[in-house]
Structure 1
Amino acid sequence: MFGALNRALVMLLAEHTAGETIRFTDIHRALRRSGNSADHAAHVLEQMCILHDNRTRAIDTWITRQLDQIPPATARHVAQWAQQLLDGGPRTKPRHHKTVRRYIAAVRPVLLDWSTRHEHLREITRDTVLTQLRRVHARDRHDLLQALRSLFRWAKANGVVFRDPTSRIRLGPVEEPVPQPLTSNQIAATIRVATAPHVRLAVALAAVHAARHGDIMAMQLTDVDLDRWRLTIGGHDRPLDDLTHTALIGWLDYRRRRWPNTANPHLLISKESALRLGPVSHAWLSLILRGLPATLERLRVDRRLDEAIASGADPLHLAEVFGISENTAIRYANAARQLLDTGVELRPAVHREPPDSR
């Protein structure tokens, strides 16, 4: 794998001179016949600061497709708003493409509905917005209002509308559903399929340490101290339990044998990320337990809920154990109280926090 990448780089850099950049489309054209990955070579050239990525972003294509049936005048303004969200502005930071996708998905059906009665965003009034908000589910209502606020604030700042119809609109709090604990059968089904070393480790991090996807992806080799039985997740130092310790040893041994020459400092790597320095993708991690009741996210929530029930719904204890915010700890404590009031039975203590000493 590394030999093919090195040969591709030699070919691309053979006639390169200082100060020149190499376009991605040229890389793709040069490597496609040999079957080498243009993405891997482009990553190396990007680290060398000589890559000119002239590809059309997937998010730009997606935005154009989503706005295809919206009247051109409105679609043009919405596209400009989306581009500013992606690229940022003088006083705003760039937003993640997932946020932009969520905003566009929320406002698209509304804009299609409005386009049957209104020709311009300037015609939208506060009553128009309120009427639309009443038509959607309570949970979706907050997401829609957030997206519309962003759109109309941009529109007012850029002279597209005279006034923001979303200003001073307030919605009541959304009642969060009470998370339900996983059953022993659901957890057993997950354990049965967790045979690969990376799956075992990810399951242990989620089920024992309540680690988020982002925290698991961001973990580096330096966050693991097997000798001291310590682990750092999301900046929070934690004691290492037997289950996770065994999973770590198995994974690290596999990692050394599979990718002995990788320079990637992250704990979890894949065949793609082994050639780079960045983390694995969110999609790669999410696929691990797709289709099972006990996904990594469900295991994470279940672990926190399990600890909340076992501790008598003590939010201070939860904040200390998991390093979570006060509001998050209170939410799990309230959920635990509701479950305790219903007489929920605790499972055997398979997730319990390991002792803080070795």
Structure 2
Amino acid sequence: MSPRKGYRKPATSCDGCLAWGDFTGSLCPACWQFARQHAAGECGACRRRQPLKSGYCRLCWCQARRNIRIATGKPTSAGHVMAPWLRQVADLQLFFIGMHHHRGSSTTPRPRGHGRRGRPRKPPPPAAVRPVSHWCQPVLFDGVPRDYHRFDRDAHPDPASPWLAWGRHLAHGLAEARGWGRRVRLDVDRALVVLLSPHAEGDVIRYSEIIAPLRALDSSIERTAEVLEAMSILVDDRRPSYEDWLEKRLDGLAAGIRREAESWNRTLRDGGPRTRPRDQATVWAYLNAVRPALLEWSARYDHPREITRDDVLAHVKTLHGHERRQTLVALRSLFGWAKKNGIVFRNPTARIKVGTFEYSVLQPLLPQQVTRSVEAVRSPAARLALALAASHAARAGAIRALQLDDVDLGNRRLTIAGRTRPMDDLTHQMLLAWLDYRHRRWPNTANPHLLINQMTALETGPVSGWWIKHELHGQDATLERLRVDRQLEEALVHGPDPLHLAEVFGLDEKTAIRYANSARALLDQAAEQQLR
């Protein structure tokens, strides 16, 4: 049973290091991380069954470090130095969470120019360029995957490797340009030591080979891949998700129909000699729409040229409304492509009218629906996105694409999708709150986009579509509904004038006419109710 809303777990002791403190789960964060990297077994000192590093649990390692500090005054964690002290652990000192990481005396003054814990800041790696090799040994067996799990961090690292020096130099430049934190830099450096120490001229590193070893090291796969791409030695051999989806959607079709349907869908996705690529959502929607018809025809035919006009009419008679229209549009695209490429002799969908789509009257949101959405958002980013959709009718894609240069706080102007508009008080307050949070949370990020998160703060791209909408999931007043409601409100307040709507929101003529018609119908309905 999940805990009730607002429940807070009381302070307790960790099952691993027995430290007392406030944390979630049964392990403190340090022991949880330790357990991810090491297998369980019987500890050589305390005899408890715990995750072990070199035969000893984390609590015994902490106790051995404490004994060394007491005896010598110098903390150390090197395995060959710690081994005698680990074997001598007999008693265990209990701690509060966080005391294991305490180093030195709090009364010792920190020298200026040193790091957070009094350590000297690590100097940047020396400048390096791509190693020059006049000859390289040809690969005997191409395609044999490397096993980086066999890398021994004590015996195999090669600090003198020119490839490692070049990788560290490029990683430092990327870290400075992207605003990577100290932990990310150390994770990437540890991964580069494993991947580049045995590297030689002519070798390539495949993306599929580094996923498992870097996960075992708890290093950032994406950041390490950026460095390897900058070195031009990474081969992205991952299978695209589109291939798995396409294979699943074509399953069950006759061989000839499957072959032509696959070629048509790939042309939609990638484009052709005189065909531009379509949006990914269109590629998915078209194949999903024609799949039931193709499955039905695969039971009788083996090739699209056997499908007749009567077969198409018989199938669409079973459909109604938007489903019928969507299926006909997709079938016309399929057979139009087949006729153009000489796959069929006649287009069976020719002269079959799709019909006009009658849009329903748009309805405004109720005040309680908007109130629930306002109460649901918690983060400053979600509040800003809600304000942009509700006040400026901004689409989710336009909000994701907003950049810092699009915001003019001094003149209180905002540029959304290429159109500059004045900034209202609500948007101004939400912007100030978000920019303050953004600066405190990611002060060194180089991402030019206005909205960022933990992932994109280390990159330069926008946030995902799911991330910007997930706090309003399940609400009636979503970002899209708030955008529609704002445009409908403009039509109700200033009159159902399509030209005014097109000028204010940059709508095309058909969309502006639709909003104007909906506003006119709502105003007529309100007038009739008053007369009654």
TM-score exceeds 0.5? yes
Partners of 2:191 and 2:219 within 8 A in 1: no
Which residue of structure 2 aligns with residue 252 of structure 1? 435
Question: Contact 2:293–2:315 at 8 Å: present in 1 too?
Answer: yes
Equivalent in the alignment of 1:129: 312
Other-structure match for 1:176: 359
Matched AA of 1:243: L
Q: How far has the Cα of 1:126 moved from its partner? A: 2.1
Offset at residue 251 of structure 1 (A): 0.8
1:207 maps to what in 2?
A: 390
Q: Residues 24-63 of structure 1: matches in 2 within 5 Å?
A: 24-43=207-226, 45-46=228-229, 51-63=234-246
Shift of 1:9: 6.2
Name the SS of the counterpart of 1:265 in structure 2: coil
Q: 1:177 to 1:21 in 2, by over 3 A?
A: farther
> Contact 2:256/2:304 (CA < 8 Å) preserved in 1?
no
Aligned to 2:503: 320
Counterpart in the other structure of 2:275: 92
Counterpart code for 2:482: L
Partner Cα separation in structure 2 for residue 183 and residue 319 of structure 1: 25
Equivalent of 1:108 in 285, 291, 312: 291
CA distance in 1, matches of 2:365, 2:527: 12
1:283 is matched with: 466
CA distance in 1 between counterparts of 2:197 and 2:439 reads 32
Alignment of 1:159-198 (within 5 A): 159-198=342-381
Which AA in structure 2 matches 1:293? D
Deviation for aligned residue 1:77: 2.0
Residue 297 (structure 1) shift: 0.6
C-alpha displacement of 1:109: 0.9
| Alpha-carbon distance change, 197 to 148 in structure 1, aligned in 2, over 3 angstroms | same
Q: Which residue of 1 aligns with 2:402?
A: 219
What residue number does 2:250 align with?
67
Deviations 1:6-40 (A, max 9, x none): 32663445666788754221332441211223234
- Taking the aligned partners of 2:234 and 2:406, their CA distance within structure 1 comes to 32
Q: CA deviation at 1:171?
A: 2.1
Change in 2 beyond 3 A, CA 1:43/1:204: farther
CA RMSD, 1 decimal: 2.3
1:8 touches 1:41 (CA, 8 Å); kept in 2?
no
Among 115, 119, 127, the alignment partner of 2:302 is 119
SS state of the match for residue 217, structure 2?
coil
Aligned residue number for residue 23 of structure 1? 206
Q: Which residue of 2 aligns with 1:7?
A: 189
Q: What's the offset of the Cα at 1:274?
A: 1.7
- The answer as to whether partners of 2:255 and 2:302 remain within 8 angstroms in 1 is no
> CA distance change for structure 1 residues 315 and 20 in 2, over 3 Å: closer, same or farther?
farther
Equivalent residue letter for 1:185 = Q
* In 1: Cα distance, 2:263 partner to 2:478 partner: 37
Report deviation, 1:113.
Answer: 1.5
Q: Decide which of 241, 263, 267 is 1:80's aligned counterpart.
A: 263
Q: Label 1:219 to 1:125 Cα distance change in 2 as closer, same or farther (>3 A).
A: same
Report how far residue 115 of structure 1 moved.
Answer: 1.9
TM-score, normalised with respect to structure 1: 0.89
Structure 2, unaligned stretches of length 5 or more? 1-182
Q: CA deviation at 1:53?
A: 1.8
Rounded Cα–Cα distance in structure 1 between residues aligned with 2:235 and 2:228 = 9
SS state at 1:215 partner: helix
Cα gap change, 1:5 to 1:116, in 2 (>3 Å): same
Match of 2:325 among 130, 135, 142: 142
Distance 1:211 1:344, change over 3 A: farther
Q: Is the 8 A contact 1:59 1:97 kept in 2?
A: no
Number of the residue aligned with 2:161: none
Q: Share of identical aligned residues, percent?
A: 52
CA distance in 2, matches of 1:48, 1:289: 41
Q: 1:192 to 1:42 in 2, by over 3 A?
A: same
AA aligned to 1:217 is: R
Deviations 1:196-215 (A, max 9, x none): 10110000010000001111
Question: Contact conserved, 1:316 with 1:329, CA < 8 A, in 2?
Answer: yes
Counterpart AA for 1:10? L
Q: Is 267-276 or 34-43 further displaced after alignment?
A: 34-43
SS of 2:216 mapped into structure 1: coil
Q: Distance in 1 between matches of 2:214 and 2:271?
A: 34
Matched to 1:322, the amino acid is: F
Paired residue secondary structure (1:231): strand
Equivalent residues of 1:44, 1:276 under 8 A apart: no
Q: Distance in 2 between matches of 1:344 and 1:257?
A: 53
Provide structure 1 residue ranges, at least 5 long, that are not aligned to the other structure. 346-358
> Structure 2: how far apart are the matches of 1:271 and 1:158?
48
CA distance in 2, matches of 1:47, 1:304: 45
Shift of 1:82: 1.7
